Structure 1
Amino acid sequence: MKKTLIAVAVMAASGIAFAASNVTLYGVIEEGVVLEKAKHGDTTVDLRSGFDQGSRWGIKGTEDLGNGYSVGFILEQGFNVDSGDEATSGKAFSREAFMYVNGGFGKLGFGRTGALSFAQSNAILTGWAFGTGYGLSSWTSAIGNNFSRMDNVVSYATPVFDGFSVHAMYSNGLTGDSEKWSDNNHYYGIGVKYQANAIRSSLIFEAADNKGTATADTLVSDVLTENQWNALKQTPAWSTVKDDVVKAGTAKKKALYVINYGFEYNLGSWTPMFAYQFAHQNQGRRTHMFGLSAKADVAGGNVMIGARYLFGKDKATKVGASELSVDGDVRAWNIGAAYVYPLSKRTALKAFAGYADSGKEWKNVEAVGYNGYQVYLGMRHSF
């Protein structure tokens, strides 16, 4: 009730009128100290915002339309606690800006949100204790393949039948859809989630067609950041340089296909988990990644442990921050452990330690996600 009243006050103060039946202001603030060292690099100590849970504030609401139908929205902005900066410069709601309709048919929504295998309100990823947080132990860390937050999304989820639900997602342009269809980068995702009794599981297939983007070895995201891409498209020079930027070389990159499978079994005081990822790209990366992890209740808090192993082939001219020419077998593994101790219902202390090591053609990658270690101590407060 207090959150609803606060949200009403915020909206009223900004001069915005609304008639939603339920509007909530919420957020997460996480800040801590990270000690890390990459291979051949210096040991660094820095304050870091959102090491596990990204710091954010948001407004969400629903309105009952009657006859079992409702409409809702989520507006969520990320920020950096240590500097006060936007997490993604130039976006008013960088984490999520999503509107949806619920009914007997399921849930249909539109806007900016996370991929099925990432985070946010439409994600269904299971099977990894660290989820998409905790630095080098994140399922979306450097060694794996993942899809992050996307613009121009249409998302649909069926009702739940005997614990099963089907989820589909499409992005008409990951970084914009103002060009002709063949020059926009498209995402396609479909997944099945099962949750009943002690079992949680998901199987997700995702693809990015990479139309009009980059070379056979380099994504546009490797060349330009999202902010740089969007800024460049607004300049008068775009019409003359777009072909060079879009193609970034002699050939377009082939479509990327990723499969994620996860399984969890809740045994009460602890939950063992298994996760697997297969990624394939013609003339690019072809990898298998396995993860074993668990969550357990220990001394009033929660312990998470996990180990991953990846093997396969990679072909790239840039890996992490390293300008490497990679064309062959790759190997990588990492281990991690975290402990979360609640000080209250909304505040918790967090600690993490992880180590990563790569072999074959990734052995000289100078990045913590491939070769190095991290230690983290921080605090999270939710409101």
Structure 2
Amino acid sequence: MKRRRHQKTRGDMMKKTLLAATFAVWIFNVHAQGSMTIYGSIDSGVTHISNVAGTKLTRVDSGNRQPDRIGIRGSEDLGGGVKTVFQLENGYVTDTGAQLNPAKLFNRGAYVGIGNNFGTLTFGRQNNFMFDMVGKYSNGFLLGSFYAFHPGNIDDLTNAGAYDNAVKLVSAPISGVTLGAMYALGEQSGDSARNRAFSLGANYAAGPFKIAAALSDSNNRSLTLGQTTGIRTLLGRTLISGSAQAPVYSALATDKVRSVAVSGSYAMGPALLHALHVQTDISVAAATATMKSSELGVNYRITPANSLNLGVAHTSLNDMSWDQLTLNNVYSLSKRTAVYAQALHQRASGTGTVAAVNSFGYATGQRQSAIRIGVHHLF
């Protein structure tokens, strides 16, 4: 018996060795023919929130300073200035190890395409230009806080606006200008407009000054504004019913959601100033509700390793509004690892409006505050 177990163990080891060797040969061939990078981000920390559903809450949150993700991207030189490009990216949750979207392995992106000196054409699940261009100068991105994005997170400034079945064309920069267009097919037989989406974007960079503008337009999008903002009714639809102790949520089935935005930044010595304005129109039947958000921010580098980031934002939706102050102090231990401390406060206004910091869950009153400490590592 002992001899058989030993032989079985040796057989398992041989199989593992062969698998490892096969994988190593594959990796070698990929690098020999082109380039491939495995990359990712891990961010986790403790957040204490003053009011979520009427009580204080302390929890471990992940993906705050940057989204937790792991991906593979690469290219192959085809000659004559032409290359193949690809990317596969998965979002996950560090505090539980769960996949961010159980229905999509590569929920943050999955595409392949061809590029040359004039631009790149890609096909697959891809981000729109609200995220790719405008979002790069937002408080959420530059302050390093997912909490700094706007209530409901419906304006596509985060990766939540990725499109399936998308064809995307991005130009190479010309005199500092980059242009982009994307069209996502709805793939509904007999109704080509259903689930269809498109996006346009432009970015200009010249020395310390950068500016971007974008539009995203999607049909038949479902919005969970009840859960995320505490809004009970909108456009004649009931979003929250039942009692406060046992709420029942209904998604808002829209005909169209359209966002238009402009943002930019300007570097002045140790300071980076940035601003953004976005308008999102939500259409159901013949009715439309408009959400607008404006924000200002500054990143000030106290030392090469220490940055103090401050931002203010105002969001309105019909007669409801939310004002938020976000402060984040980031200390870099290396090029890839940072620790940070963050504080924020949001105040809501309007009859029945409650505070609802992005990703927290809504409060029972008009104020919501939080403090957080975290660790962020890139690889």
Smaller-chain TM-score range?
0.7 to 0.9
In the other structure, the counterpart of 2:296 is 292
Q: 1:22 to 1:183 in 2, by over 3 A?
A: same
Q: 1:288 to 1:79 in 2, by over 3 A?
A: closer
Q: CA deviation at 1:45?
A: 0.8
How far apart are the structure 2 equivalents of 1:223 and 1:144? 12
In the other structure, the counterpart of 1:275 is 276
How far apart are the structure 2 equivalents of 1:144 and 1:47? 24
- State the structure with more CA Rg: 2
The question of 1:76 aligning with 2:89 is answered yes
In the alignment, residue 374 of structure 2 is paired with which amino acid?
G
In the alignment, residue 341 of structure 2 is paired with which amino acid?
A
Q: CA deviation at 1:159?
A: 1.9
The question of 1:48 aligning with 2:61 is answered yes
In the other structure, the counterpart of 2:195 is 185
CA contact (8 A) 1:265 1:271 kept: yes
How far apart are the structure 1 equivalents of 2:189 and 2:329? 47
Provide the secondary structure at the position in 2 that maps to 1:85. Answer: coil
In the other structure, the counterpart of 1:92 is 105
In the other structure, the counterpart of 1:65 is 78
In the other structure, the counterpart of 2:145 is 134
Provide the secondary structure at the position in 2 that maps to 1:185. Answer: coil
The question of 1:108 aligning with 2:121 is answered yes
Provide the secondary structure at the position in 2 that maps to 1:266. Answer: strand
Provide the secondary structure at the position in 2 that maps to 1:161. Answer: coil
The question of 1:22 aligning with 2:74 is answered no
How far apart are the structure 2 equivalents of 1:137 and 1:223? 19
How far apart are the structure 2 equivalents of 1:79 and 1:192? 30
Q: CA deviation at 1:272?
A: 0.9
Q: CA deviation at 1:381?
A: 1.3
Superposition map of 1:324-335 within 5 A: 329-335=319-325
Q: CA RMSD in A?
A: 3.1
Q: 1:37 to 1:178 in 2, by over 3 A?
A: farther
Provide the secondary structure at the position in 2 that maps to 1:125. Answer: helix
Percent identity reads 22
Q: 1:356 to 1:11 in 2, by over 3 A?
A: farther
Superposition map of 1:255-270 within 5 A: 255-270=256-271
Q: CA deviation at 1:197?
A: 0.7
TM-score w.r.t. length of structure 2: 0.76
Superposition map of 1:1-383 within 5 A: 12=23, 19=30, 20-38=33-51, 41-118=54-131, 122-131=132-141, 134-138=145-149, 140-142=150-152, 145-146=155-156, 148-173=161-186, 177=187, 179-182=189-192, 184-210=194-220, 219=222, 253-282=254-283, 283-299=287-303, 300-313=305-318, 329-361=319-351, 363-364=353-354, 367-368=361-362, 371-383=367-379
Q: 1:221 to 1:290 in 2, by over 3 A?
A: closer
Q: CA deviation at 1:349?
A: 0.4
In the alignment, residue 339 of structure 1 is paired with which amino acid?
N
Q: 1:42 to 1:375 in 2, by over 3 A?
A: same
In the alignment, residue 201 of structure 1 is paired with which amino acid?
I
In the alignment, residue 42 of structure 1 is paired with which amino acid?
T
CA contact (8 A) 2:323 2:347 kept: yes
How far apart are the structure 2 equivalents of 1:382 and 1:292? 27
Q: 1:203 to 1:9 in 2, by over 3 A?
A: farther
Q: 1:168 to 1:113 in 2, by over 3 A?
A: same
Q: 1:155 to 1:124 in 2, by over 3 A?
A: farther
Q: CA deviation at 1:9?
A: 6.8
How far apart are the structure 2 equivalents of 1:16 and 1:223? 47
Provide the secondary structure at the position in 1 that maps to 2:54. Answer: coil
How far apart are the structure 2 equivalents of 1:150 and 1:192? 18
CA contact (8 A) 1:368 1:374 kept: no
User: What per-residue deviation string (whole Å, max 9, x for no partner) do you get for residues 246-274 of structure 1?
Assistant: xx99x973322211110211112111111
Q: Which moved more, 1:184-193 or 1:282-291?
A: 282-291
Q: CA deviation at 1:181?
A: 3.6
User: What per-residue deviation string (whole Å, max 9, x for no partner) do you get for residues 180-219 of structure 1?
Assistant: 4447412211111001111111011121122xx6xxxxx3
Provide the secondary structure at the position in 2 that maps to 1:285. Answer: strand
Q: 1:55 to 1:170 in 2, by over 3 A?
A: same
Q: CA deviation at 1:60?
A: 1.2
Q: Which moved more, 1:50-59 or 1:8-17?
A: 8-17
Which structure: greater strand fraction?
2
TM-score w.r.t. length of structure 1: 0.76
Q: CA deviation at 1:347?
A: 0.9
In the alignment, residue 330 of structure 2 is paired with which amino acid?
V
CA contact (8 A) 1:152 1:172 kept: yes
Q: CA deviation at 1:13?
A: 6.1
